[in-house]
Amino acid sequence: MAAAQEHGEATRAALLPAFFYLVELESCGSTNDEAKELARQGAPEGTLVRADRQTAGRGRRGREWSSPEGNLACSLVLRPGLPPAQAALVSFVAALAVAEAVAELIPGRPTLKWPNDVLVGGAKISGILLESEPGPGGAVDWLVLGTGINVASFPVEASYPATSLRTAGATPDVDARLVMASYARHFHIWYRRWLEQGFAPIRAAWLNAAQGVGGPVTVRLATETFTGTLVDLDMDGGLLVDCSGVVRRVTAGDIFFGVEG
């Protein structure tokens, strides 16, 4: 870890805004686990752990996340000083940053799928995982934001169609470190905006890039599945779905476009 951190300190100025402190690893089980351990040891906000490959990557709701070499796997330590529910809104910040980074590297315009997926041509190109630890006074002590972006490859057998930057038209010189630098630059801009202006500008930008607003969706919850029309995102990050005149608020679940039969 020490050698990796020294290397990271030597290269971060050339790659990233000064907010970030880069820790680069050849391999690890999970960059989120590495970042959490650093956070518990007092690592400053902006500590960013990147690994060439993960052997035990995971996604939202405990799902496995494939992390072969060539793709981006990174986790960022944040200390926003907010209550858990507010701190969790940083996932929308991250989704915007990923979308803007992807848009720089491929033709076409990425879209967003609630809560934090970035789609290219309707296929998933990234994943985001938040983990946090409570601190005194009701605020989180730290939050670790894990981000995976399919750069060189994508899982063929996945629960939702996937793609990669290379498949979507990125040039051969686009690699994980270049993608990380672009993502970090956009994240820093949106993160400061969120802390200074609140969720309103994040919500507006997310809705502007969201796929399926005004169209039919199927919502799968832990105990039921229902269909309706995707109408809005509220100020707490909940998805609003109109079910024949009754608006339901979704805070956890899976969204699929169209009506599944």
As a whole number, the mean pLDDT across the chain is 90
Residues 202 and 226 in one domain: no
User: Is the same domain home to 187 and 233?
Assistant: no
Predicted confidence at residue 2, as pLDDT, reads: 43
* Residue range(s) defining the domain that contains residue 220: 216-257
* Segment among 43-47, 62-66, 168-172, 232-236 with least mean pLDDT: 62-66
One domain, residues 57 and 140: yes
% of the chain surpassing 90 pLDDT: 82
Across the strands, what pairs with 35?
Answer: none
80-to-77, 131, 232 alpha-carbon distances in Å = 10, 13, 26
pLDDT tier for residue 246 given thresholds of 50, 70 and 90:
very high
CATH of residue 225: 2.30.30.100
Choosing from 171, 186, 209, the residue where a domain stops is 209
Q: Are residues 95 and 129 in the same domain?
A: yes
For residue 11, name the pLDDT band (cuts at 50, 70, 90): very low
Coil, strand or helix at 7: helix
Total number of domains constituting the chain? 2
Check whether residue 124 and residue 74 sit in a common domain: yes
Q: Do 34 and 7 lie in a common domain?
A: yes
For 5, 19, 35, 108, 114, the CA distances from 1, given in Å and listed in that order, are 6, 20, 11, 39, 35
Beta sheet of 140-149, edge-to-edge order: 21-28, 47-54, 72-78, 140-149, 126-134
> Once rounded to an integer, what is the mean pLDDT over residues 209-238?
96
In the predicted structure, residue 8 carries a pLDDT above the cut 50:
no
Say if residue 60's pLDDT is above 90: no
CATH of the domain at 139: 3.30.930.10
Q: Note whether 203 and 241 are same-domain residues.
A: no
Model pLDDT, residue 1: 43
Measured distance CA(157)–CA(46) in Å, rounded: 34
Whether 174 and 232 share a structural domain: no
The model's pLDDT over 143-193, given as tens digits with 9 standing for 90+, comes to 999 999 999 999 887 778 999 999 999 999 999 999 999 999 999 999 999
Mean pLDDT, range 110-128, rounded to an integer: 95
Do 128 and 235 sit in the same domain of this protein? no
The span from the CA of 33 to the CA of 131, in Å, is 9
Q: How far is Cα 208 from Cα 232, in angstroms, rounded to an integer?
A: 11
Going by pLDDT thresholds of 50, 70 and 90, the confidence category of residue 63 is low
* Rounded average pLDDT over 20-30: 94
Q: What is the reported pLDDT for 111?
A: 97
> Same domain for 119 and 224?
no
